[in-house]
Structure 1
Amino acid sequence: MSTPLSADAFVAALRAEGVAVVEVDGWRDHNRNHKGAWGPVNGVVVHHTVSSGTDASVRLCYDGYAELPGPLCHGVIAKDGTVHLVGNGRANHAGGGDPAVLNAVIAENYGDRPPTTHRHEGSAGAVDGNARFYGFECVNLGDGEDPWPAAQLDAVERVSAALCRAHGWSAKSVIGHLEWSDWKSDPRGFTMPDLRTRIAARLAGPTTGTSAAAEAAAAAARAGAARQPFPGAGFFTEGRESPVITAMGRRLVAEGCSAYAEGPGPRWTGADRASYAQWQRRLGFDGPDADGVPGRTSWDALKVPHTV
């Protein structure tokens, strides 16, 4: 058992592990501590949001909704790997779970997986996970088809390793929501044993610090970044190369609109057009208005950061 990290120590641990951190305004005092204890903490629970888009998912996890007020986790892990901190203290993320699982996590003595859970919120004998676990929501629809970009999975690994390292835990202190509560399925799209293997390998080495690229992405998100003006539909033609196209592609990936097999890169390609068409359809455009060629309305909504 451990005392929860302070906000400053939490951020420092994440950045030391190479996490690109975005501090959402007000997160340091945003919690549900008036509803019950926060701590001692025993581990980390990984979730998926069942939502798409970074901005909307962060807002959802910060605010919550009528039946379940926010924060709904401590951090939201976007598809581009940035981690948006939305809460510090008790959060509505884990709910009730199985005491046998909690005991196995505390002892870190299970094999490939913790014991099968037979409890959930409201069931007899369930224990309060909101008091005992840090929670991270990963932006994903949770349908088994929405992709998990490498940058996002790397961030899940890093945030988990950061907290394990800070508290002296092993990778067995990291569980999925489906391993805690018997009516949950998240995270769906990768396995927790595989994630714990990755975390264990990372813990065997030193901390890495935040890469320049990751910190630049986080700094842009923190500042709201100057937006790239719409260059005009005629800009997006075959053979065009520009850092604007790379920046656009990265935003599309972050919003879950990706037809990229690799990249994105600076050259305008069919993958860019197909990805942008997904974004247009997300905004409600169809037919010729969702042809994959950027228009001013969809471009402004995408919030492409300035490249200079």
Structure 2
Amino acid sequence: MQFVSRSQWGARPSRYALAYIGSTRGVKIHYEGTPVPASLAKAENHRLCASRVRDIQASHLANRQEDYSDIAYNAMVCPHGYVYEGRGAHRKTGANGNQTLNVGHYSVCAMVGDSGLTEPTEAQLNGLRDAIEWLRKSGGAGSEIKGHRDGYATACPGGPLYAWVTKGAPRPGGSTTPPKPPKYEPFPGVDWFKKNPRSAIVTAMGRRLVAEGCSAYREGPGPQWTSADRESFRKWQRKLGDAPQFCDGWPGRKQWDALKVPKV
């Protein structure tokens, strides 16, 4: 699971203490119900997803009519498959419609809307399954997977997502079990990069840097190692919080392993 904690996405503190909940019957799936730009699903726009979660939290906290304690959802899932911790496990949701419904199920919201981006991506469906399984393991969620409209008069989670829910919320390919862990490229050594390599490994690395919001590319990543690759990796080193002397743009083993470049 590609998990983004509250501290990592920059959550504001809850207005009130969140109500503890020991277990639920399961999870209800939501969508934003407002326009979501189709461009959000592009790999280079993953950098916008954390700010979108922050904006949603801010709008919920500003809603005095509902008087939300926090972002209403237990988790949100972006088009790139990342699971953003909302209220989190063992916290009563504020999204299912009323207090009885909020006690019965956790809520997980996909970043899709009623226009623009309306179809969940494959990565997003995998992320939704990851969120469901996380809430089962860490939050005592039961086996039920339902849509927000099940038990409450709403169009949420929209036609495409609700059709997926009614099929049992399978992972792409039909499975409801987690995919096998991907194989990652082993660290080729810093000297390999200093020889200005041309390799599919460089392209795969660049795509991961873009997905992590560390792009310095004017054009998409390519197979030839360039100064843009080095500057993008420097951004990754800084994101990891490495000391300045280790943020020189040349990959180190620990930094490379943390990036998890898929096997090519």
Structure 2 length-normalised TM: 0.45
Structure 1 length-normalised TM: 0.40
